[in-house]
Amino acid sequence: MPRGPIGHEDRLTLVEHLDELRTRIIISIVAFGVALGLCFWQNHRLLEIVNHPLGKREPITFGVAEPFTTTLTVAAYFAILIALPVVLYQLYAFVLPAFSPTERKVALPLLLMVPFLFVAGAVFAYFVIIPAALKFLLHFNESQFNTQIRAKDYYSFVTLTLISAGVVFQLPVGVLGLVRMGVTTPEKLRRNRRYAFLACAIVAAALPGVDPVSMLIEMVPLVLLYELSILLARMFGQPSSSEAEATDRLASAEGS
């Protein structure tokens, strides 16, 4: 069982690669299973957290098995969040041998940013997007409808919003990766700012939440993240001359 990443200079056979992949998948599944057991044990507390944006309203169920299946689904979503760092490390350790030492210096900081940005996006969605969306949606034509909140639909809406916001907050990682690989530059990012803002609006419209309030709230962090990406790209994105020379020497050595 591998305890850490394999070195770039190591050479493994196909069977060894498959064995390593199997081991890391097993570790990820075990981490998820432990997190799922912990979350299901504390399911009442998790449901209280998810129900908090509803205020005094309580979600309802219609089927005999729905309370159990819905609780298990919520516990599974939280288990994914808890097990994410372990899964990301296993993924990093598996793909690390394909990276040169120079590329590894680029990949590691970006990978470390992923869980922090994901958590930041989920927190933003929980405290800002979801309360605003619920306030608009539940009070829209309130006098014309007897609005009941089904637990299954509500928890699906909340979890999809949290996950979507966490994924969207990975924008700086993607931009920095593209700059470090030489696909784009901070100058191009600034020149294409108008098109980027249009793309942000399209992404915000595609995220969970059909109301205009949610769309505007989701668009604001996208624009701010894009501007932050430009700033980070100017500071850390472009490889230094020493890194470029090291890459050239490595490429020359591998070619010879």
Per-residue pLDDT of the chain (256 residues; tens, 9 = 90+): 444 555 545 555 666 667 878 888 999 999 999 999 999 999 999 999 899 988 888 888 888 888 898 899 889 988 987 887 788 778 777 776 666 666 666 667 777 777 788 888 888 888 988 888 888 888 878 778 888 888 888 888 888 888 888 888 888 877 777 777 677 777 888 888 888 888 888 877 777 655 677 677 778 888 888 888 888 777 765 555 554 454 445 445 444 4
Q: Are residues 111 and 236 in the same domain?
A: yes
Range of the domain at 48: 1-98
Q: Are residues 171 and 129 in the same domain?
A: yes
Q: Please indicate, yes or no, if residue 172 is contained in any of the structural domains.
A: yes
The number of CA neighbours under 13 Å toward the Cβ of 81 is: 25
Q: Are residues 208 and 130 in the same domain?
A: yes
Q: Are residues 58 and 88 in the same domain?
A: yes
Cβ-contact 86, 31 below 8 angstroms? yes
Please, what's the largest Cα pairwise distance for the chain?
77
Q: Please indicate, yes or no, if residue 254 is contained in any of the structural domains.
A: no
φ, ψ of residue 150 to 5 degrees: the values are -80, 130
Choose one of 98, 117, 145: the last residue of a domain: 98
Rg from Cα positions in the chain:
22
pTM (predicted TM-score): 0.72
Q: Please indicate, yes or no, if residue 218 is contained in any of the structural domains.
A: yes
What's the CA gap between 254 and 144, in Å, rounded? Answer: 71
**Total domains present in the chain:** 2
Q: Are residues 202 and 143 in the same domain?
A: yes
- Can you say how many angstroms the Cα of residue 153 is from the centroid of all Cα atoms in its chain? 22
